[in-house]
Structure 1
Amino acid sequence: MEEGKDRKEKPKVVVLGQPTCLASLEQLYSHKFNFLNPETSNLSLQHFLTLHQPSSILAILCSTRSSLNAPVLRLLPSLRLIITVSAGTDHIDLHECRRRGIQVAGAGALVSEDVADLAVALLVDVMQKISARDRCFRTQHHAIPWDFPLPSKLSGRRVGIIGLGRIGMEVAKRLECFGCIILYHSRHQKKDVSYPFFSSPIELATTCNSLVLCCALNEQTKHIINREVMLALGKGGFIVNVGRGGLVDEKQLVNCLMEGEIGGAGLDVFEDEPHVPKELLTMNNVVLSPHCATFTAESLMNMCELVEGNLEAFFSNKPLITPVISVE
């Protein structure tokens, strides 16, 4: 009885979208928080929450797999905190959160280096045709595929970064070490950055021969990479996307790849995740990754600590560690 009473007294945290760190969080901090996971039941979200007294639930922990729109948020009338394990927040209705006074915490700079590492890895892979050569080498029973299409050189490449925030800057630092020339497009020109700034994606694409997408997805950046931008990039151009799938007009990307209008693509994100256009699966000039840029062993444990720190801060009436929206 005492154990049950103790469990009820723990702050309740609803978990949505199965964050990768959930198992570790439960192992490390279930003595402090009561993690309520609807996916462990066969109930609808509304029915599940009803069984757990929604008026007593103040916090949500979520991943990008969950859509926290106004109807979902209305299921929790006392909600005051959302923690997402992602750098992006396009899956959360921030306007509704501000209206209701709900605080939001994100990953902050925690995942920037991991995402930048994968962005560079995807660019190197697709340009050097590493994955494609590996597949060919294995299927030809270790015969050397001398007739395989030649790779492209990274050194000296003019790489345009769209979104020069934390992740974009980390990408730029890494690519400079490869001898690349860095250019960028962001909402605003950054006074403390020496890289050439371009006021539009198409101007940037016209000037460079590779694009790396690191910006947030919103109404202004939806399909920021359209067919016009792809054609401006050109037949020898490569696109890497580690931001959000909706940044790219995926249908036009498939068309441009099939028509040979661009050289290739490295994609960690897709418009309709987890679904991937079947055409991309057979292309040797495309490298695919299942939205896993932040999934390193080190970041997993760091994320657990960050989530616990934000929960502890909230329930102790202290400022959040990585606020996206704070109490004014």
Structure 2
Amino acid sequence: MPTQTSAAAQEQSTPITGEQILRVGPVNPTVAESLKEEFATLVLPDSSAERAALLASHGEQIRVAVCSGRFGVDSELMAQLPNLEAIINFGVGYDATDTQQAAERGIAISNTPDVLNDCVADTALGLYLSTLRSLGAAERFVRDGSWASGQNFPLATRASGKKVGILGLGRIGQAIATRLEAFGCEIHYHNRNQKPEVSYQYHSSAAQLAAETEVLIVAAAGGPQSAKLVNREVLSAVGPQGFIINIARGTVIDEQALVQALLSGEIAGAGLDVFENEPNAPSELLELDNVVLLPHLGSGTRETRADMASLTLENLRAYLTERKLITPIS
């Protein structure tokens, strides 16, 4: 059942029109088309001058914002929307939105959980195999003619039967663990709270998890509470035979520390789908064969993006008609 929003929002019984809905940043094409054709919403301009003009003329009347996980409603924008009631977020991550200010003001936030779990977990598994088995480097070895010239490709690392640590055993982390069990892997985890319902071994810190496992998979939620959770201490604990896979958020890892660890051989390799300053990956990593780099495509399948778009629009329609959200963040 949809969850009721704040009492303040419930009191807002007047209909919400398109001029009271603001699209913030680029969103999924299906969502963008619906916002335009079905709701006739406003769009926050890219240009600073046009943005300021729109907020000056319409900021006080905006009651709902629609955004993506990458372009949220930040502190400055939220402060300029004094009557904002709800933020409809396309994506499971919402760390680009000022959730603290939203909570203080009773602004409800929705995201799109569950529908992308499988595809993100599949991406994590692909990164895991590509990184340990050097599959990307091996493909380049064929394409550039090295194999045809008589060279031998270097031996890689066995992927089956590894001790794998999952940092963040939420829905996606659990889906990754289930897949790795099929590879005979021994699963360990660290979470903000221990999960008594799972049989995996719990560790009280990220550093301890890294020290006790051979591969560290980062699946923790983004945001201030997890910023640089994987720091120099954790990277050192991963060790020169260990690997890191990140399908969470780039901010969860101290990126400069990771670059140095890879360049110095402090860790064996990394598979990265996310970065601190997207769409820019650290230039130092571009030529390294022990690093697999992906363009933040964790949930990037036609099927999953369609499901995410549908859930985003369901949340918007539910809020407009009932002042409720289908999938509010907890």
Verify same fold: TM over 0.5. yes
Correspondence 1:60 to 2:68: no
Alignment of 1:18 onto 2:23: no
Q: Does the alignment pair 1:49 with 2:55?
A: yes
Deviations 1:246-268 (A, max 9, x none): 11111111111111111110111
Counterpart position of 1:244: 249
1:254 corresponds to 2:263 = no
1:305 aligned to 2:310? yes
Gaps of 5+ in 1: 1-7
Which residue of 99, 105, 118 maps to 2:104? 99
- Alignment match, 2:9: none
Q: In 2, are the aligned partners of 1:13 and 1:58 still within 8 Å (CA)?
A: yes
1:32 match: secondary structure: helix
Which 10-residue stretch deviates more, 136-145 or 162-171?
136-145
Question: Is the 8 Å Cα contact of residues 113 and 170 (structure 1) preserved in structure 2?
Answer: yes
Q: Which of 24, 31, 40 lines up with 1:34 in the alignment?
A: 40
Q: Secondary structure at the match of 1:304?
A: helix
Residue 292 in structure 1 maps to residue 262 in structure 2: no
Tell whether the 8 Å contact from 1:116 to 1:168 is kept in structure 2 after alignment. yes
Partner of 1:137: 142
Q: Give 1:275's aligned residue.
A: 280
Percent identical: 37
Q: How many residues align?
A: 315
**CA deviation map 1:186-208 (0-9, x unaligned):** 01110101000000111111110
Paired AA for residue 21 in structure 2: V
Provide TM-score, normalisation by structure 1: 0.90
- CA deviations over 1:45-101 (Å, ceiling 9, x no partner): 2223335x2233211111233252322112222211101112122111111111211
Counterparts of 1:199 and 1:220, CA distance in 2: 16
Q: Helix, strand or coil: the match of 1:110?
A: coil
Deviations along 1:213-258, whole A, 9 cap, x unmatched? 0111244422121222222211121101111111111111111111
* Cα distance, 1:11–1:169 mapped onto 2, change above 3 Å: farther
Classify the secondary structure of the residue corresponding to 2:311. helix
RMSD: 2.0
- The amino acid that maps onto 1:50 is A
Whether the 8 Å contact between 2:167 and 2:219 is mirrored in structure 1 is yes
The one-letter code sitting in structure 2 at the alignment partner of 1:78 is: N
